Structure 1
Amino acid sequence: MGDAVLLMFPALIVLIALGIPIAFSMVLVASVFGFIRFEEIVFRQFAQRVDEVASNYVLGAIPLFIFMGAILERAGIAERLFDAIYMWTRRLPGGLAIAALVMCTIFAAASGVVGATETLVGMLAIPAMLKRKYDNSLIAGTICAGGSLGTVIPPSIPVIVLAPIMTLPVGDLMAGILVPGLMMAAMFSLYIIVSATLKPSLAPRDTDPDPFTMGEKIRFTLKALVPPVVLIALVLGTLFSGLATPTEAAACGSAGVLFLALCYGKLSFKMVLDASLQTVSLTAMILAIVLAGVMFSGVLFASGGMMAIRGFLDSFGFGTAGVIALILIITFILGFAVELTSIVLIMTSISVPILKLYDVDLLWFSIVFLITLQTSYLTPPMAPSIFYLRAIAPPTMTLKQMYWGVIPFIICQLIVLALVITFPELATWMPKLIYG
């Protein structure tokens, strides 16, 4: 088949541009090119791929983490948590925005679902910030940037999907992305504090008398903060310590979040049913994309696609740095229009063999890849995070304000990306510390 296998990529792009769902586009391209090359035997290979994906133990964590996020969203846990955090940040410059970012970080660590984090925190924080006369651009940037942390703060669904493709332990990848993720949250918070200090009109301070005593603050915070923190420790602690696999850790988290909902008096059959239906819907979409990606990459590899790609890159004189830059640029552009899990499947299925040829550290590259993906998720004009925001924002918040609002946060992300590229230890020291 030779270099003709490279036509799989433009064919895939054309089908996606025509509005055909990602999974169906990948399966169609794989079927046509696979049949041309291998005839009917390709369909027997596809059947084996279905069995491989269905029996992949790690992917079993996906529906469990989605279920966790769905229950957290419906149980009222987030609202109590936001109130508790704001008790302690209300006197800071941009205190409400800082509380929203902290809330996003905690919720991302508890659920791993990107859109749910931004939507839930936005619905809680936007009315409060508007009431305090916060600048619309700052509100938009805070909610979009905070929601994007769900891409990198573990347990993240993209991380769970990425790890098996990169042939990396999920625990290593989650530990590696944790430090850059927290660095981004800290950079976002620092920007808000500095900008609100230099220009107080962006985020007027709360000057009302503190209605709570120190004892009341501590008691309310313990009631609101300790349960979700224990849940996060249960999931990430058992995972990082090696006591549980990702699927077992996710199962512990799902049981824990049901117990929390029961303690808060929110557990009901309807809530569990709604959460289960949402879980089934999202899981079916994600696993369909995973299966399609496996089929697509299988035909590409078996048809000699890797050698064709290597020859193409060599003809342009790309070295290791050039290959990495090219992959990251394509990833960034795809992030404008393609769903996150799809990008992970499309890009990494293609990239892993190439990166191995160039002897690239796959753990370090995976962290850089995820940060790039998160930055694309936030970047105009096609930023998915802005589309989530538009669904919950009031009419007074314009698209122009949203675009301007995310730019400082994108700069913060690019700084973190540059630091991880320059100092790879930022991505690798935590896995080495935990796992040796």
Structure 2
Amino acid sequence: MEPGLLTILMFSSFFALLALGIPLAWTTGSLGLIFAFFLWGPDAMSVVVLRVWDVMGSFSMIAIPLFVFMGNMLQKSGIAHDLFKAIQVWVGGLRGGIAAATILLCTVLAAMIGTVGADVTITGLIALPFMFQRGYDRHMALGSIVAGGALGVLVPPSIMFIVYGVTVGESIGKLFMGGVGPGLLFGGLYIAYILIKCYLDPSAGPAAPEEERNVPLIQKIALFKSLILPIGLILGVMGSIFGGIATPGEAAGVGALGAILCAGVRKQLDWNNLSDSLYETMKTVGLILWIVFGAMVFIATYTLGGGAEFVKTALVALPLNPWLVLIIIQVILLFLGMVLDIIGITVLLAPIFVPVITELGFDPLWFGVIFNLNLQIAYLSPPFGYSIFYLKAVAPPDVTMADLYKSVLPYMALQIVGMILCMVFPQIILWLPNLMVQ
């Protein structure tokens, strides 16, 4: 079968099955099997075993359950409430200070938890009622949580960097470090937008009352005492990767043990918290692996049928500047991010686009972070932005989907500005990986 015809048949069938409501993992896995059978016969069924074995045999994949468990245990430790209280006391006196504190909370939680869903859910439960009580602009409050939570895609230990690294063979440690600059950039853009908006319109984010602002300095400092251990743990885990002391998998193991110790020190280590953390970890990892297994079977069949080479040849041969080809790829990712699961996007498209990018002369590590910047935008993109639905699940009943859709628009514009900056100035991404100990 010609690669062009194979591309049309496989991807049209893919979107047709998704439109019928069939889960992504079953859609990709079944199509991979069916097309492999018709192309090469029963012997091709071994592709399933081989692709699953490749995933299960990858040492880097061990970082996923360990980092997810670390995040769940830190979540059970109750540090989010303490962290928000500490940040709010420090910046609550500013107009829009609580929304800015929410972005800071999301950034730190992203470094502790590594998953967007937990980040949005926690901040939605803690910060949203607080902002509503203070009379904050409804859309700014909602948008700050949805956008801030999506930073979990960029701030290490992001699970998406692990999935991407395993899929294309890129260094996970360097991807982690490459996400730091954009994560801080995006967080800074969000905070700048909030503070400027509230400066121009004080009613959008009233400052805290006088009695809350007049907290003695010693008390402000004391609020951070309970956070020294978990934040030190995160710095230690990321520092060991940066310094070349440990691989991401090894660092994740230390982090998981450290999270248990943090829970113990905070007197939150009991059977209920431990069992709940293990259960939530298994649910998350099970979901990730099924999507990865199905997508890898699909992409293996497509690649063996010449599809990936066909796409590479077609894109490289376009009479366009390489930057225009890169922009076309970004537009494709942005569009698919509106309708597809981001893990599926990564496993399906990263192996196709990375050879194209390499052939065009771009840095594959830089592109890996840019790829994940697109995924962060996907978390906010209507109609199926996952962050929107995570927040809807914990928001007050009077918060409508229309409110949420409207709230993300300014933050999506800021995300696109941030992505353009990272494309024009690659060192925003590459400066930290280039400093890593090899």
What TM-score results when the alignment is normalised by the length of structure 2?
0.95
Please identify, of 317-326 and 247-256, the stretch whose mean Cα deviation from structure 2 is larger: 317-326
Query: For residues 81 and 253 of structure 1, what CA distance do their matches in structure 2 show?
Result: 19
Aligned equivalents of 2:21, 2:289: Cα separation in 1:
20
1:5 matched to 2:6: yes
1:76-155 equivalent positions in 2, closer than 5 A: 76-155=78-157
Inter-partner Cα distance in structure 2 for 1:220 and 1:54: 43
Identity over aligned residues, as a percent?
34
Q: Tell me which of 225, 228, 232 is aligned to 1:226.
A: 228
1:337 aligns with 339
Map residues 270-309 of structure 1 onto 2, 5 A cutoff.
270-309=272-311
Q: Does 1:64 align with 2:66?
A: yes
Contact 1:109 1:153 in 2 (8 A): yes
2:190 aligned with 1:217, yes or no?
no
Match of 1:200 in 2: 202
With 390-399 and 153-162 compared, the bigger mean Cα shift is at 390-399
Alpha-carbon offset, residue 153 of structure 1: 0.8
Deviation per residue, 1:171-199 (Å, 9 max, x gap): 11111111011000011111111111110
The residue number in structure 2 matching 1:33 is 35
Moved more, 409-418 or 181-190: 409-418
2:165 counterpart residue number: 163
Which residue of the partner structure matches residue 247 of structure 1? Answer: 249
1:33 and 1:322 map into 2 onto residues whose CA distance is 33
Counterpart residue identity of residue 4, structure 1: L
After superposition, the C-alpha distances for 1:388-410 in whole angstroms (9 at most, x for unaligned) are 11111112333333222222211
Aligned length: 435
Q: Hey, what does 2:52 align to over in structure 1? A: 50
Q: Which amino acid aligns with 1:164?
A: V
Which stretch has the larger CA shift, 306-315 or 135-144?
A: 306-315
Uncovered stretches (5+) of structure 1, i.e. residues with no partner: none
Is the contact made by 2:296 and 2:348 (CA closer than 8 Å) also made in structure 1? Answer: no
CA distance in 2, matches of 1:375, 1:304: 31
Say if 1:336 and 1:383, in contact at 8 Å, map to a contact too.
Answer: yes
Alignment CA distance shift 1:43-1:16 (3 Å): same
Instruction: Answer with 36-45 or 123-132: which moved more.
Output: 36-45
* CA drift at 1:311: 4.8
| Segments of 4+ moved more than 4 angstroms | none
> Is the deviation greater in 401-410 or in 62-71?
401-410
For residues 236 and 311 of structure 1, the distance between their equivalents in structure 2, rounded to whole angstroms, comes to 39
Query: 1:37-72: per-residue Cα shift (whole Å, max 9, x none)?
Result: 221221123212222111111011111111122222
- Matching of residue 268 in structure 1 with residue 282 in structure 2: no
Residue pair 1:176, 1:430 contacting (<8 A) in 2 also: yes
In the TM superposition, what is the alpha-carbon distance from 1:165 to its structure 2 partner? Answer: 2.3
Contact 2:312/2:355 (<8 A) preserved = no
Code of the aligned partner of 2:218: G
What's the offset of the Cα at 1:277?
1.0
Residue-by-residue CA offset, 1:123-143 (whole Å, 9 max, x unaligned): 000111111111111111111
Q: Alignment partner of 2:196: what SS?
A: helix
Over residues 385-430 of structure 1, what are the superposed CA-to-partner deviations in whole Å (9 max), with x where a residue is unaligned? Answer: 1111111111233333322222221121111111111111221121
Q: Residue type matched to 1:424 in 2?
A: P
Question: What is the Cα deviation at residue 219 of structure 1?
Answer: 1.6
Structural RMSD (CA): 1.7
Cα pair 1:234 1:252 within 8 Å, conserved? no
Stretch of structure 1 that moved more, 214-223 or 350-359: 350-359
Which piece of structure 1 moves more, 104-113 or 316-325? 316-325
Which residue in 2 is equivalent to 1:363?
365
Q: Using the TM superposition, give the Cα deviation of residue 4 of structure 1 relative to its aligned residue in structure 2, in angstroms.
A: 2.5
Instruction: Compare 271-280 and 163-172 and name the one that shifted more.
Output: 163-172
Relative to 1, partners in 2 of residues 1:367 and 1:110: Cα closer, same or farther, differing over 3 Å? same
Please state how far the C-alpha of 1:319 moved relative to its aligned partner. Answer: 4.8
Most deviating of 356-365 and 177-186: 356-365
Partners in 2 of 1:354 and 1:277 — Cα distance?
40
In 2: Cα distance, 1:363 partner to 1:144 partner: 27
Letter in 2 for 1:421: M
Q: Which residue type is aligned with residue 212 of structure 1?
A: V
Check conservation: 2:70, 2:259, Cα contact below 8 A.
Answer: yes
Contact 2:311 2:352 in 1 (8 A): no
Give the Å deviation of 1:312: 4.1
Look up the SS of the partner of 1:209 in the other structure. helix
Letter in 2 for 1:410: M
Superposed CA deviations along residues 189-243 of structure 1, whole A, max 9, x for unmatched, are 11111111110100111123146321122122222x3122112112211111111
Q: How does 1:414-425 map to 2 (within 5 A)?
A: 414-425=416-427
Q: Deviations over 1:147-175 (max 9, x none)?
A: 11011111101111101223211111111
Give the TM-score normalised by the residue count of structure 1.
0.96
Instruction: State whether residues 198 and 205 of structure 2, in contact with CA within 8 Å, keep that contact through their aligned partners in structure 1.
Output: yes
Structure 2, unmatched stretches of 5+, are: none
Shift in Å, 1:371: 1.0
Q: 1:435: how far off?
A: 3.8
Q: What is the rounded CA distance, in whole Å, between the counterparts of 1:313 and 1:217 in structure 2? A: 56
Q: Distance in 2 between matches of 1:294 and 1:435?
A: 32
Amino acid at match of 2:5: A
How far apart, in 1, do the equivalents of 2:239 and 2:190 lie? 26
Structure-1 separation of matches of 2:216 and 2:321: 62
Distance 2:196 2:230 in 1: 29
- How much does 1:318 deviate? 4.8
CA contact (8 A) 1:306 1:354 kept: no
1:316: how far off?
A: 5.5
Instruction: Name the CA distance, whole Å, in 2 between partners of 1:266 and 1:142.
Output: 29
